Amino acid sequence: MKESIQLLDLIPKEKLDEILQAVNEACGIGSVIADTEGRPISSESNFCSFCKDYCRATPEGRARCYASDAYGGRMSLDSKEPYVYDCLNAGLVDCATPIIVAGQHIGNLNGGQVLEGSIPAQDAVARAMRIGVTDIDGYLQALRRIPQVKRARLRKIVNLMSVITQTISDMALQKILLSLQSKEYLNKLINSVSDCIISVDTDCIIDMSNDRCSEVFGCSLNDFCGQSLMRFVQDKHVLAAYKTSLEQGGQDNFRFELTALTAKRTPFPVQISISRVNDESGKAVSYVAILRDITEEKHIAKMKEDLVGMLTHDMRNPILAIDRALELLAAGRLGPISDNQEKILKLARNTNDQLGSMVNAFLDIFRDENGRFELHKNHYDINKIISQCIEEHSLLAEEKGLDVRFLQHGQRLTLHCDLFRIKRTISNILSNAINYNVVGGNIQVSTASLEAGCIASSPYLPRQYRNRLADGQSYVWTVIADTGFGVPEAYQETIFEKFFTVKTEEGLGRRGIGLGLAFSRLVAEAHDGFIFCRTPSRPAGRSHTPGVEFHLVLPSQPPQGRPGA
């Protein structure tokens, strides 16, 4: 069935009134744009008192005027030319010309309200009484004021009206063509996306979908549309709960996962984003769902989980075996060893420890992503932890000729933390300070206990970390500074992301799998602290390389109101 065209959907009423006003000023007649039933679409422009106050003032009179306007439009349409005729209500001379858009007759431009000659009084009175006019004298006085126009003059006026209706028709047609082009473009756009786009009514009946739905659900769009979306969902209660929340208006959209069903009832996982569509009054009239098949993503996630399991099991066992073997050699249980051999064994054990730390970091990051990362806290001396880390890396530092200094403010700084995770964090940063330093460079480590207010006022603290400090809390601030090639300012945030590495202008990039610093940030934030790096204003020692400072800020005690496990 052909869709009905409405003139006001294409041309605003204000524009139609503006056109009629121009006609009236030029021709001196009354005019109106009406639909095919004679009902006004525009304002009734320049209507005379006779028509406005008498002919159209009663229900019967208005009905006859509408019928007369509709009649004039039909006659003009049938004759295919402007039509001049006697009004079916009061006998005035009127004219009409049709508005045709895309082959549809959608309205008429009616004008006139003039006379060619006088109407006999008895005929006028009979017409007035027929439509229920009670003020006969006023009716006759208004009739006598109707201007008389020769039909030839009126013919010229109606020809002008015909040109105007053609212009209106062309304007409306252009709007239709633009709308069709926009719809065609929108359809192409919707059908080009790889996600399913589904529109449902308030009863969850599908009334529109894109081509992707046919591929995902395994049925034609004709079979898909008109069905309830619930038929294609296994977790019906989940979808119903979110739909109810949308109906209540607490939120306009939700994103969640559920299990969908193909036309053959085969389940598959999807991520769905559903939004509420309101009318002008704010009432929900429909819902739009964007649905994405995440079967492949789930498969990749399972592969990732299996890979992590393989790495943490199949790699940790040989690492532990190597560590035990080196321990036996270093202890002299397999025979005496020289000083040089002892140094080599110590280097091998440190390297093996780093490999083990890498595997553990990989495992912890995976646990965090899957909500299974847990801390086992107790009270430890951070200065003692750092001293142990420096000792474990001493051989590597000596080989590079580095001067490592530890500035302790107080013999003991107690920290409530997970010992092994904090030790690995310090080791990661210290290892970077050795690996990316220059030969003969310096490394300086310092610790201090400071109140939150003191830290917040420090010029070294980036603004984005100030709101992470808890009022009244004391913190241990650890700084590890080196004189190496540094980290460009553009990378000083992204360097903590997983698998991120950076290359310096000198060609000596921060290589590796990019997990050490990501793990360090994970540990810091799990302890309600944070970590950041910055370029020092004046690096200690050698000045031709910028150096870098890593700042680790951790609360001394668990925040109040939270368990200290």
Confidence of residue 502 (pLDDT cuts 50, 70, 90): low
Q: Using H for helix, E for strand and C for coil, what is the string for 164-199?
A: HHHHHHHHHHHHHHHHHHHHHHHHHHHHHCCCEEEE
Residue type (1 letter), 326 = L
Among 297-301, 385-389, 507-511, the range scoring the smallest mean pLDDT is 507-511
State the Cα–Cα distance between residues 500 and 215, nearest whole angstrom.
37
Task: Decide if pLDDT at 91 tops 80.
Answer: yes
More confident residue, 559 or 96: 96
Question: How many CB atoms are located within 10 Å of the residue 474 CB?
Answer: 14
Residue 5 in tokens: 């065209």
Question: What SS3 state is found at 428?
Answer: helix
Tokens standing for residue 296: 């492949």
Strand ranges (E), 194-264: 196-201, 206-209, 253-261
CB 224 within 8 A of CB 214: yes
Confidence of residue 52 (pLDDT cuts 50, 70, 90): very high
Range in 128-142, 234-248, 293-307, 476-490 with the lowest mean pLDDT: 293-307
Instruction: Name the pairing type of β-strands 403-408 and 377-381.
Output: unpaired
The pLDDT confidence band at residue 120, using thresholds 50, 70 and 90, is very high
Q: Work out the mean pLDDT of the chain and round it to a whole number.
A: 85
pLDDT at 541 over 70: no
Say which DSSP state 135 is in. -
What Rg, from alpha-carbon coordinates, does the chain have? 43
Q: 104-118, pLDDT tens digit by residue?
A: 899 999 998 999 888
Query: What is the average pLDDT across 173-186?
Result: 74
Q: Which of 39-53, 66-80, 292-306 bottoms out in mean pLDDT, i.e. has the lowest?
A: 292-306
**Arithmetic mean of pLDDT, 13-21:** 89
**Cα gap 141→146, rounded to integer Å:** 9
Confidence of residue 392 (pLDDT cuts 50, 70, 90): confident
pTM for the model stands at 0.47
Q: pLDDT band at 260, cuts 50/70/90? A: very high
- Single out the residue of 48, 42, 52, 46 nearest to residue 17, CA to CA: 42
Nearest to 211 by CA among 193, 233, 230, 231: 193
* SS3 state at 287: strand
pLDDT band at 511 (very low <50, low <70, confident <90, very high): very low
**pLDDT 10s digits, 440-470:** 999 999 999 999 989 988 988 998 899 889 9
pLDDT at 564: 44
Q: Which domains does the chain have, with CATH numbers?
A: 7-180 (3.30.450), 194-293 (3.30.450.20), 296-373 (1.10.287), 375-555 (3.30.565.10)
Residue 531 in tokens = 């970590």
| 560 — pLDDT class (breaks 50, 70, 90) | low
Q: Among 292, 257, 252, 296, which residue's Cα sits nearest to residue 276?
A: 252
* 420 contact partners, CB below 8 Å, separation of at least 6: none
Count Cα neighbours of 449 within 13 Å in the Cβ-side half-sphere. 16
More confident residue, 144 or 27: 144
Q: Which 3 state secondary structure label does DSSP give 103?
A: coil
Overall size of the chain counted in residues: 565
Q: Is the pLDDT of residue 1 over 80?
A: no
Name the DSSP letter for residue 463. Answer: G
